[in-house]
Amino acid sequence: MLELRPNCECCDCNLPPESEAAMICSFECTFCRSCVEGELAGKCPNCGGNFVPRPIRPFDKLEKYPASTKRVHRKQ
């Protein structure tokens, strides 16, 4: 089950579960599309992998399977 992390690890902007701007790598490192396409140049700084859009969990499933509230922010 994906954690659906609540923020960009680079700029710390909010990425709610319904965000279409959230991007993840195969280890679920989470960044906003702006950082991925800009300073990260499509490469995860943590694992070196690529990014894909994070899936959006249907609203009715969020009650039973809530998104994570733990923020991860790594100053680059």
Residue % of the chain over a pLDDT of 70: 99
Fold of the domain built from segment(s) 1-61: Herpes Virus-1 (3.30.40)
For the chain, give the mean pLDDT. Answer: 96
pLDDT in tens, 26-39: 999 999 999 999 99
Burial of residue 69 (number of CB atoms within 10 Å: 0-12, 13-18, 19+): exposed
Q: What pTM was estimated for this model as a whole?
A: 0.92
* Ranges of each domain in the chain: 1-61
- Whether the predicted pLDDT of 76 surpasses 70: no
- Whether the predicted pLDDT of 15 surpasses 80: yes
Query: What average pLDDT does range 27-52 have in this prediction?
Result: 97
Residue 40 and residue 54: Cα distance in Å, rounded? 17
